[in-house]
């Protein structure tokens, strides 16, 4: 596996996370209704894991509060 380092501002990371989350929603719930769609469950699972990691990077305090059983919001 190749590791790629990218520098992003917090705002850029939040936007990227939001866009990726929206795309995953489309792939999981909208695309399957399209004729000829071929599902790729492993891609969706990988994407969900990636979005979770990006969200943790964008807001590290939220992950710590959630882990402690307190509300992240």
Closest CA to 24 of 32, 14, 36, 35: 32
pLDDT for 20 beyond 90: yes
- Label residue 4 left, alpha or beta by phi (over 0 means left) and psi (-120 to 50 means alpha): beta
Q: What is the pLDDT, as a whole number, of residue 70?
A: 58
Q: What is the pLDDT, as a whole number, of residue 73?
A: 46
- Using a cut of 0.75, tell me whether the model's pTM lies above it: no
**Residue 31: CB partners within 8 Å, gap ≥ 6?**
37
Q: Residue 69: pLDDT band by 50, 70, 90 thresholds?
A: low
- List pLDDT tens digits, range 34-44: 999 998 999 99
Average pLDDT rounded to a whole number, residues 50-61: 90
């Amino acid at each position: 596996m190749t590791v790629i380092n990218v520098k992003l501002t917090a705002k850029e990371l939040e936007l990227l996370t939001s866009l990726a989350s929206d795309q995953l929603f489309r792939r999981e719930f909208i695309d399957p209704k399209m004729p000829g769609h071929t599902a790729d469950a492993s891609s969706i699972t990988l994407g969900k894991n990636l979005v979770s990691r990006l969200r943790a990077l964008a807001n590290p305090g939220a992950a710590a509060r959630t882990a402690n059983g307190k509300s992240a919001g």
